[in-house]
Chains A and B, each alone.
Chain A
Amino acid sequence: MASRTSGMNPVVTLLLQRIGIGFVLIIAISFLLFVGVEMLPGDFARNFLGQSATPEAVANIRKELGLDEPLLSRYLGWLGGMLTGDFGHSWANKASVNEQLFKRLANTLFLATTAALFAVPISVGLGMVAVFFRNKLPDHVINILSLAAISMPEFFIGYLIIFAFALLWPIGDGPPIIPSSPLLSLANVQLIFLPALTLVVVVLAAMMRMTRAAILNIMESAYIETAELKGLNMMTIIRKHAAPNAISPIINVVALNLAYLVVGVIVVEVIFAYPGMGQYFVDAVKVRDMPVVQACGVVFAGVYIVLNMLADVGAILANPRLMHPK
Chain B
Amino acid sequence: MGILLQVRDLTIGATVYPPGEDPHDIEIVKDISFDLEKGRVIGLIGESGAGKSTIGLAALAYGRGGVRITGGEVLLDGKDILRYTKAGIRDIRGRHVCYVAQSAAAGFNPAMRLAEQVVEATVLHGVMGRAEALERARYLFGVLGLPDPDEFGTRYPHQVSGGQLQRAMTAMALCSRPDLIVFDEPTTALDVTTQIDVLAAIKHAIEETDTAAIYITHDLAVIAQISDDIMVLRHGDAVEYGTVQQIIEAPREDYTRQLISIRAEIRPEAPDQSDSLLRLENIDAEYGPAAKVLFDVSMHLPRGQTLAVVGESGSGKSTAARVITGLLPPTQGQVIFDGAPLPPALKDRTKDQLRELQMIYQMADTAMNPRQTVAEIIGRPLTFYFGLRGEERRHRVTELLDQIEMGDPFADRYPAELSGGEKQRVCIARALAAKPRLIICDEPTSALDPLVAEGVLKLLMDLQAETQVSYLFITHDIATVRAIADSVAVMYLGKVVRFGPKSKVLNPPFDDYTDLLLKSVPEMELGWLEQALASRKMAAAGN
- Counting chain A CB atoms within 10 Å of each CB, which of B60, B101, B108, B110 scores highest? B110
Q: Which of B107-153 contact A (CB under 8 A)?
A: 107-112, 120-121, 124-125
For residue B74, give the distance in angstroms from its CB to the closest CB of chain A: 15
A236 touches B109 (CB 8 A): no
Whether B62 and A320, one on each chain, are in contact in the complex, defined by CB atoms closer than 8 angstroms, is: no
Minimum C-beta distance from A314 to chain B (A): 15
Query: Contact at A222–B124, with CB atoms within 8 Å?
Result: no
Q: Which residues of A contact B458 (CB under 8 A)?
A: none
Residues of chain B lying within 8 A (CB to CB) of residue A240? 109, 112, 120
Query: A231 contacts which chain B residues (CB < 8 A)?
Result: 89-95, 121, 124-125
Is B159 located at the chain interface by the 8 A CB criterion? yes
Residue A228 at the chain B interface, CB threshold 8 Å: yes
The answer to whether A223 touches B107, judged by C-beta atoms less than 8 angstroms apart, is yes
Q: Assuming A226-B101, A324-B156, is B90 touching A241 (CB within 8 A)?
A: no
**A residues near B183, Cβ cutoff 8 Å:** none
Does A52 reach chain B (CB closer than 8 Å)?
Answer: no
A81 at the interface (CB under 8 A from B): no
Taken residue by residue from 217 to 252, chain A's Cβ proximity to chain B (1 for < 8 Å, 0 otherwise) reads as 000011101111111110010001100110000000
Tally the A-B contacts, defined by beta carbons under 8 Å.
Answer: 77
- Point out the residues of chain A lying under 8 angstroms from B124, CB to CB: 230-232, 236
Interface size class of A (residues with CB under 8 A): 20 to 34
List CB contacts (< 8 Å) of B62-108 with chain A.
Answer: 62, 64, 89-95, 98-99, 101, 103, 106-108
**Pair A223/B108 contact, Cβ less than 8 Å:** yes
Let me know if A1 is at the binding interface, CB within 8 A. yes
B158 at the interface (CB under 8 A from A): yes
Asked if B290 is at the interface of the complex by the 8 Å CB criterion, the answer is: yes
Q: Name the distance in Å between B472's Cβ and chain A's nearest Cβ.
A: 32
Chain B nearest CB from A173 CB (Å) reads: 45
**Binary A-proximity of B144-174 (CB < 8 A = 1, otherwise 0):** 0000000000011011000000000000000
Q: Is the CB of A241 within 8 A of B112?
A: yes
| Closest-CB distance, A49 to chain B (whole angstroms) | 56
- Residues in B with CB closer than 8 Å to A321 are 110, 156, 158
Q: Tell me whether A245 and B91 are in contact (CB under 8 A).
A: no
CB contact list, B310-354 vs A, under 8 A: none
- A interface, by DSSP: helix, strand, loop or mixed? helix
Q: Cβ of B112: which chain A residues have Cβ within 8 Å of it?
A: 240-241, 244, 320
Considering the complex, give the chain A residue whose CB is closest to the CB of B102: A222
Residue of A nearest to B110 (CB): A320
A240 to B110, CA, bound (A): 11
Q: Is A326 an interface residue (CB 8 A)?
A: yes
Roughly how many angstroms separate A229 CA and B111 CA in the complex, as a whole number?
18
Query: Would B93 and A245 count as touching, CB distance under 8 A?
Result: no
**Chain A residues whose CB sits within 8 angstroms of the CB of B94 once the complex forms:** 229-232
Residue A233 contacts which of B90, B101, B106, B290 (CB distance < 8 angstroms)? B90
Contacts of A221 in B (CB 8 A): 106
- Known A230-B94, A231-B92, A232-B94: A241·B158 in contact at CB below 8 Å: no
Please determine whether A241 and B93 come into contact, CB atoms closer than 8 angstroms.
Answer: no
Q: Report how far A321 CA is from B159 CA in the complex, Å.
A: 8
Q: Given known contacts A232-B121, A241-B112, A244-B111, is B159 in contact with A324 (CB within 8 Å)? A: yes
- Inter-chain contact A226/B62, CB cutoff 8 Å: no
- A residues less than 8 Å from B92 (CB atoms): 231
Please tell me which one of the listed residues B93, B108, B156 contacts residue A229 in the complex, with CB atoms under 8 A apart.
B93
- How far, in Å, is A220 (CB) from chain B's closest CB? 10
Q: Are B109 and A227 in contact (CB under 8 A)?
A: yes
Least distance between B59 CB and chain A CB atoms (Å): 11
Contacts of A232 in B (CB 8 A): 90, 94, 120-121, 124
A-B residue pairs, 6 tightest by C-beta: A231-B93, A230-B94, A222-B106, A231-B94, A230-B121, A244-B111
Pairs across A and B, CB under 8 Å, 7 listed: A229-B93, A231-B90, A236-B124, A240-B120, A320-B112, A321-B110, A321-B156
Interface residues of B (CB under 8 A from A): 60, 62, 64, 89-95, 98-99, 101, 103, 106-112, 120-121, 124-125, 155-156, 158-159, 290
Question: Taking beta carbons and an 8 Å cutoff, which residues of A are in contact with B?
Answer: 1, 221-223, 225-233, 236, 240-241, 244-245, 320-321, 324-326
